[in-house]
Amino acid sequence: MDEYNQKIFNEVVKLKPVLWQNPKKESSDKVLAALDIKFADIKEAEERLKRFAPLIKKLFPETGDGIIESPLVEIPAMKRELEKTAGRKIKGQLYLKCDSHLKIAGSIKARGGIYEVLKQAEKLALENGLLSVHDDYAKLAGEKFKKFFSQYKIVVGSTGNLGLSIGTMATALGFKVTVHMSRDAKEWKKKLLRSRGAEVVEHSEDYGKAVEEGRKQCQEDPRAYFIDDENSRDLFLGYSVAALRLAERLKEKGIVVDGDNPLYVYLPCGVGGAPGGITFGLKHVFRDYVHCYFVEPTHSPSMLLGLLTGKYNRIHVNDCGIDNVTEADGLAVGSPSALVSAMADKLVDGIYTIEDSKLFRLLAVLKDTENIKVEPSAAAGLLGPVIVDSGENAAHICWATGGLLLPDEIYRDMYAKGKP
């Protein structure tokens, strides 16, 4: 470890919030050219989601056109409040990407989770001669398909939101579903999932163990398919499609991204799949004009430790005496994804860590200023614009990653915790 990384490491193990600027970052062209996942793969994932839109529309009419997307909104009152508290100006405009309000599952994890379920359903139906890619996929909602899919099982390990996304889509198609939930998963998420027909297995250990159990279960069952949050290329690609859609939203709003108008994006990070996939997509679209920062709780800085030490997924926060206990349940991950840490090593602009008390504070301020409800994990990105020194004329996007389904009585307590 060089002197800079060592200094950051020393703070991280003392649970001090840090801002780490990645010293290994290289030009996006160079890094992306060396990866074996390409832009064409993102386009293929986007096309697949378009094929499935008629089915999603039929199963979940609340999505409107069957494309699961969320708004990008400007949050000027939040900006004023952040500036007042920090005693410094945010250069440029501040926006919130509201994946907190993504239809069907209410979190960023729906992007990857739902995509991988659909891809698996398509594969099975094509292999068995039940579907052609030119068909209207709405037919997959029929009883014949439900019966067909019920012979198969989808298994996943989760801190909550991935399980909720996968469980909701897979049970709607007729699959059997087992979700292995880590100790951090909130009771209301497990209850909701069970009510949607999934089997929920509760573990008293952390997320890594829940994933391991799911993986093991599938090895013994040829009809079971394991969705691997630590390594899955399909999950990663499902998240990356967000970048293409964000580019469209920015264009519609007349927000230019170029050398004079940089884009800064702040992404809450658990195992890294969601922020990693979105960063990968954004770097393809906006090259070095986009600056992507991941955010982790001070008690679960797994991606940061993986990159600082160069050990990637071969380190657990417990190895450094950190407990991996945080109210940001979606971010309570001890070891980062191998796939994403290798990719982020030279691509991510930086990582900052945040204390739980700050998450509650930001959650409450967002409610007071903009009347937007998010869960604690999702508030993590809101600090970025006041701690990262951006260029002038920047567009800052805080990625709000979950909250829609959070029961009001639980949210009220969280809000109260964030009030001074």
Q: Closer to ligand PLP by CB, 90 or 378: give it.
A: 378
> How near is the Cβ of 248 to ligand PLP at its closest, in Å?
23
> How near is the Cβ of 191 to ligand PLP at its closest, in Å?
17
> How near is the Cβ of 133 to ligand PLP at its closest, in Å?
28
Q: Closer to ligand PLP by CB, 120 or 335: give it.
A: 335
Q: Closer to ligand PLP by CB, 238 or 262: give it.
A: 238
Both structure tokens of 293: 């920062």
Positive or negative CA dihedral for 249, 265, 257, 393?
A: positive
Q: Closer to ligand PLP by CB, 193 or 333: give it.
A: 333
At residue 55, φ and ψ (nearest 5 deg) are -70, -45
Q: Closer to ligand PLP by CB, 140 or 333: give it.
A: 333
Sheet (strand 224-227) strand order: 199-202, 176-181, 153-158, 224-227
> How near is the Cβ of 332 to ligand PLP at its closest, in Å?
9
Q: Which residue is nearest to ligand PLP (CB)?
A: 330
Judge residue 330's burial from the number of C-beta atoms within 10 Å of its C-beta, 0-12 exposed, 13-18 middle, 19 or more buried. Answer: buried
> How near is the Cβ of 149 to ligand PLP at its closest, in Å?
25
Q: Closer to ligand PLP by CB, 57 or 189: give it.
A: 189
**CB of 74 closer than 8 Å to CB of 97:** no
> How near is the Cβ of 190 to ligand PLP at its closest, in Å?
14
The stretches of 295-407 forming alpha helices (DSSP H) are: 302-309, 338-347, 356-370, 376-379, 384-387
> How near is the Cβ of 201 to ligand PLP at its closest, in Å?
17
Positions that interact with ligand PLP (CB under 6 A):
107-109, 159, 161-162, 268-275, 330-331, 333, 375, 377-378, 401-402
Both structure tokens of 63: 């999505």
- If we measure between CA atoms, which residue out of 372, 371, 373, 376 comes closest to residue 360? 376
**CB of 303 closer than 8 Å to CB of 297:** no
Q: Closer to ligand PLP by CB, 131 or 282: give it.
A: 282
Residue burial 177-215, b: 16+ Cβ < 10 Å; e: rest: bbbbbbbbbbeebbebbeebebebeebeebbbbbbebbb
DSSP-assigned letter for residue 261: B
- What is d(CA 141, CA 149) in angstroms, rounded to the nearest whole number? 11
> How near is the Cβ of 94 to ligand PLP at its closest, in Å?
19
> How near is the Cβ of 340 to ligand PLP at its closest, in Å?
8
**Length of the chain in terms of residues written:** 420
Q: Closer to ligand PLP by CB, 93 or 279: give it.
A: 279
Residues 6+ apart with CB under 8 A from 328: 268, 297, 300, 356, 359, 375, 376, 377, 380
Q: Closer to ligand PLP by CB, 152 or 207: give it.
A: 207
Q: H or E stretch including 208?
A: helix 207-219
